[in-house]
Chain A
Amino acid sequence: MEAYIDVDVDVDIGTLGALPSPSMDLDVFKSELDAWLDAHADELRPSFAGGGSLDQQVEQLGKVRRLLFDAGWMRWGWPERVGGLGGSNLLRAYLGEAVTLRGLWEPGFSALHEVLAPTMIEYAEPALGAEMVPRLLRGDEMWCQGFSEPGTGSNLASLACRSVRDGDGWRVNGQKVWTSLAQYSQRCILLTRSGTTESLHRGITALFVDMDTPGITVRPIGAMHGHEEFCEVFFDDVFVPGDRTLGGEGKGWAVAMDILPYERSTALWHRAAYLHDRLRRVVRTAPPGSLDPSKLGEITQLLFSFRSRSRSTQYRLHHGGTLGAETSIDKSLLAQAEQAVFDLAESALGLSLLVDDGPLQDQWRSEFMYSRAATIYGGSSEIQRNIIARRLLGLGNDR
């Protein structure tokens, strides 16, 4: 997941296939999908125990996407013009939840398509969207999101990665950081500075970049959870054709703002399911007497509240509503819940988590360490509180 953003706009996402579809009822979808997942459990199952290596996780994600797409499940909730079958966003939400609860993919990665595909559908030339989006959904390709820079974290308007006109295309020079899975990605949705530095949010252009273009260097960053999931990406005179401009020149801010609600809606719903699964595992595997009832009760309440909140957000999307600053509360709840679940795991599994060998212990360790970032990724807790204070409480503009 990318790290950022502090914004001031609400985004209307009512145009993105959010209307209820007469063609697929949610309850029918649920029962048919569950039956299919049960029937294909052997095919879908990861070949590795525990969390696996990053290579294994990415391979597993591709396999599951392909099987889901070919059987049609992955196409529901996406518009027909990009190879989807139409229908409500709730179908996608349920798919993500069901697959996550079965432990078939790494939920942090699986949610990437929930964030990136809508942007392409909304802003790419129709032919480009129709060509590319199915590749992402089918697992043929991985995509990454090039937003953050060494000098651009929460303040997106300070973006510095340059794009200048070159014939009918663009020349890109600069650097991105915190780009998830860039080393596996065939494409990147990249924000660049096409105007002057003073143009702030007006001079930003979004580009859809092939990662095999000459001049792109990817350097994975070792991270404390043990996986080189985040990368630095360097752009050295990289040529991007003009028809790869998303939303037109200078429209990058709008593209970024449109991604934001997805980072805090469907992706969070998947994550709620993931945390539910992990808390259940803690309850099942904790040695007798190791769980403090008050602590466990409080975390369960927090997690159930977060899920209820995220569910309301899903239904607001379903009804074609607008998502804005109130999703900062969803993100804040996720951050609290994620750290609380793994803090509990650490205290209950204690010594085993600390010293024992084995894939399950490795997974707990990695996830505990990853959860340290929950108050940082996707916009830090401080940024979320600034947004809440300014936009929801009207406490003024000072940061």
Chain B
Amino acid sequence: MDADDLELFRTAVIGTIAGRSGSALDSALAELGWLDAFDDDPRAAISVLFEAQGEACTASSSLARLMAHVLGHDGVLLLPSISSSDPPGLIDGTSIIVRGTSPTAGADRLVVVVADSSISRAVTTTADRFDFHRIGGLDPDLGLFEVSGTIASDDAVEAEWTAAVDLGRIALAHELTGVAAAMLELARTHALEREQFGQPIAGFQAVKHRLADTLIAIETARAAVDLAWDDRSSTTAAMAKAVAGRSARTAMKHCQQVLAGIGFTIEHPLHRYVRRVVSLDLTLGSSQTLTSRLGAEIIADGDLPPMLAL
């Protein structure tokens, strides 16, 4: 997309997201033809949708649909259990034991990926084969279900799980950046409006520097995401996810402090973003896990990953 197309697309996506979540948002995005936009320009489609979704702090099954699409399947991909990045299916003789999460209980088709020694395989099946258990937890608005069941392994076809995870991580990195940017805007607005000692608290350097540090963290995440898109390796996709998760946690801490009392109440939207930061950071590998894994790989290799050429 050129700059004008991108702006039109962004406006359309933001309009589609406004006031919608869950299956209503899924239908509206399908009507908008978001997956076609993805086929046309993956980077534009992912960055615009997931950042907007993060900024609005809404939820859809776009991540699971995107990952299924990357694997060449139509439907909703069963995501790993929270905090895991492994395929949710395990071969057990002629059947597959499934334990994962899904953003919806109402999908016509569910795509289950199975780890089968060194390769992964995917099975498309119907949702009625599984038990769905609603996850409340810290972030109930995410609308996740814990999914379990046993299915036959007959129709499993080869699937590039890693490719799906890589793109899923990049999408989540965009979403985390959107969440962080929204928190910064909430805190910034508050700092300019809230007066103490006869002036907006934005005038105090202690406040300014917290918000500046938040922007630095967000821009660091954006740079890491840019790197992942330019480089398109599993290593840099994981880096983007880790940096975005850590940056969003930094933003969460600073913005909570600036928003202080009002940000602690449920009359202010901040708490929803705080919940979202934690749940997104834990999806497909937390910043902590991905970071220590990167360090361990570097130590094992005795060298840094290749750096992106100018």
Chain A residues engaging chain B, CB cutoff 8 angstroms: 26, 30, 90, 93-94, 97, 269, 276, 279-280, 283-284, 291-298, 300-302, 304-309, 311-312, 314, 326, 329, 332-333, 382, 384-386, 388-390, 392-396, 398-399
| B307 interfacial contact with A, CB 8 Å | yes
Q: What is the number of residues of chain B that contact chain A, defined by CB distance less than 8 Å?
A: 47
Residues of A within 8 A of B18 (CB): none
| A279 contacts B304, C-beta separation under 8 Å | yes
Q: Which residues of chain B from 266 to 310 have any CB-CB distance to chain A below 8 Å in the complex?
A: 288, 290-296, 298-299, 302-305, 307-310
- A389 contacts B243, CB within 8 Å? no
Residues from chain A with Cβ under 8 Å of B149 in the complex: none
Q: Do A93 and B212 have beta carbons less than 8 Å apart?
A: no
Contact B220 A396 (CB under 8 A): no
Please tell me if the beta carbons of A283 and B303 are within 8 angstroms of each other in the complex. Answer: yes
Task: Please measure, in the bound complex, the distance between the C-alpha atom of A394 and the C-alpha atom of B224, giving whole angstroms.
Answer: 25
Tell which of A279, A293, A295, A297 has the most Cβ of chain B within 10 Å.
A297
Residues of B within 8 A of A307 (CB): 227, 307-308
Pair B295/A94 contact, Cβ less than 8 Å: no
Task: Give residues of chain B (41-99) contacting chain A, Cβ–Cβ below 8 Å.
Answer: none
A304 touches B298 (CB 8 A): no
On whether the beta carbons of A304 and B307 are closer than 8 Å, the reply is yes
Additional A-B contacts beyond A298-B295, A304-B308 (7; CB < 8 A): A30-B310, A283-B303, A294-B288, A297-B296, A305-B224, A326-B219, A393-B208
- Complex contact A304–B239 (CB within 8 A): yes
Closest 7 CB pairs of A and B: A293-B295, A297-B295, A389-B208, A296-B295, A297-B294, A308-B227, A297-B291
B299 touches A306 (CB 8 A): no
Chain A residues near B221 (CB, 8 Å)?
305
Can you give 6 contacting A-B residue pairs, CB < 8 Å? A301-B239, A305-B243, A384-B212, A389-B202, A393-B212, A393-B215
CB distance from A11 to the nearest CB of B (A): 20
Give chain B's interface secondary structure class: helix
B192 within 8 A of A: yes
B139 located at the interface, meaning its Cβ lies under 8 Å from any Cβ of chain A in the complex: no
Interchain CA distance A302-B287 in the complex, whole Å: 13
Please pick, from A279, A291, A294, A305, the residue contacting B227 in the complex, using a CB distance under 8 A. A305
List, in ascending order, chain B residues with CB within 8 A of A312's CB.
Answer: 223, 226
Interface residue B140 (Cβ < 8 Å from any Cβ of A)? no
A209 to B224, CA, bound (A): 43
The reply to whether B236 and A304 form a contact with Cβ atoms under 8 Å apart is yes
A309 CA / B247 CA spacing, docked (Å): 15
Which residues of chain A come closer than 8 Å to B302, judged between CB atoms? 283-284
Q: Which residues of A contact B121 (CB under 8 A)?
A: none
* A93 CB → nearest B CB, Å: 6
Taken together as a complex, chains A and B put the C-alpha atoms of A296 and B230 apart, in Å, by 23
Output the least CB separation between A341 and chain B (Å). Answer: 11
Min distance, Cβ B291 to any Cβ of chain A, angstroms:
4
CA distance A375 to B302 in the complex (A): 29
B-side contacts of A392, CB under 8 Å:
212, 215
Contact present for A298 and B291 (CB under 8 Å) = yes
* Residue B188, interface by CB 8 Å: yes
A291 pairs with B294, CB closer than 8 A: no
Q: Is the CB of A332 within 8 A of B216?
A: yes
In the bound complex, what is the Cα–Cα distance between A198 and B212 (angstroms)?
Answer: 31
Tell me whether B243 and A301 are in contact (CB under 8 A): yes
CA–CA, A390 and B202, complex, Å: 10
Query: At the interface, yes or no: B141 with Cβ under 8 Å from chain A?
Result: no
Q: Which of B199, B219, B295 contacts A300 (CB 8 A)?
A: B295
Q: Identify the interface centre among B203, B220, B246, B308: most chain A CB within 10 Å of its CB.
A: B220
With a cutoff of 8 Å between Cβ atoms, the chain B residues found around residue A382 in the complex are 205, 209
Is B211 interfacial (CB-CB < 8 Å)? yes
Q: How distant is the Cα of A384 from the Cα of B216 in the complex, in angstroms?
A: 10
Interface residues of B (CB under 8 A from A): 188, 191-192, 199-200, 202-203, 205, 207-209, 211-213, 215-216, 219-221, 223-224, 226-227, 230, 236, 239, 242-243, 246, 288, 290-296, 298-299, 302-305, 307-310
Most buried by B among A30, A269, A291, A385: A385
Complex contact A309–B223 (CB within 8 A): yes
Chain B residues near A284 (CB, 8 Å)? 302-303
CB atoms of B216 and A329 under 8 A apart = yes
Write out the residue numbers on chain B whose beta carbons fall within 8 Å of the beta carbon of A393. Answer: 188, 208, 211-212, 215
> Are A300 and B294 in contact, with the CB atoms below 8 A?
yes
CB-based nearest A residue for B200: A396
**Contact pick for A304, options B202, B213, B227, B288, CB 8 Å:** B227
Choose one: B220, B239, B288, B303; the contact of A309 (CB below 8 Å): B220
List A contacts of B213 (CB < 8 A).
Answer: 385
Q: Which of B192, B242, B243, B304 contacts A395 (CB 8 A)?
A: B192
- Say whether A293 contacts B296, CB under 8 Å: yes
A333 to B247, CA, bound (A): 13
| Docked-complex contact A283 and B293, CB < 8 angstroms | no
Q: In whole Å, how far is A188's beta carbon from the nearest beta carbon of chain B? A: 32
Task: Known A93-B310, A284-B303; judge A396-B298 contact (CB<8 A).
Answer: no
Bound-state CA distance A283–B304 (Å) is 8
Please give me the residue from chain B that is nearest to A332 by CB atom: B216
| Complex Cα–Cα for A396 and B309 (A) | 39
Complex Cα spacing A276 to B224, Å: 16
Please, which residue of chain B has its CB at the minimum distance from the CB of A90? B310
CB proximity of B87 to chain A, nearest CB, Å? 24
Report the bound CA distance from A93 to B309 in whole Å.
Answer: 11
A333 x B220 contact (CB < 8 A) = yes
* Option from A30, A297, A302, A388 in Cβ contact (under 8 Å) with B292: A297
Given contacts A304-B239, A308-B227, is CB(A395)–CB(B295) below 8 Å? no
Task: Give the distance to chain B from A262, nearest Cβ to Cβ, in Å.
Answer: 17
- If A332-B216, A392-B215 touch, whether A301 touches B202 (CB-CB below 8 Å) is no
Could you tell me the distance between the alpha carbons of A298 and B307 in the complex, rounded to whole angstroms? 15
**CB neighbours of A294 from chain B (8 A):** 288, 291-292, 295
A70 to B307, alpha carbons, bound, how many Å?
30
Measured in the bound complex, the distance between the Cα atoms of B209 and A382 in whole Å is 8
Across-interface contacts of B191 in A (CB, < 8 A): 395
Chain B residue contacts of A395, Cβ below 8 A: 188, 191-192, 202-203, 207-208, 211
In the complex, the chain A residue whose C-beta lies closest to that of B202 is: A395
A294 to B297, CA, bound (A): 11
| CA A296 to CA B292, docked complex, whole Å | 8
A333: chain B residues at CB < 8 Å are 216, 220, 223
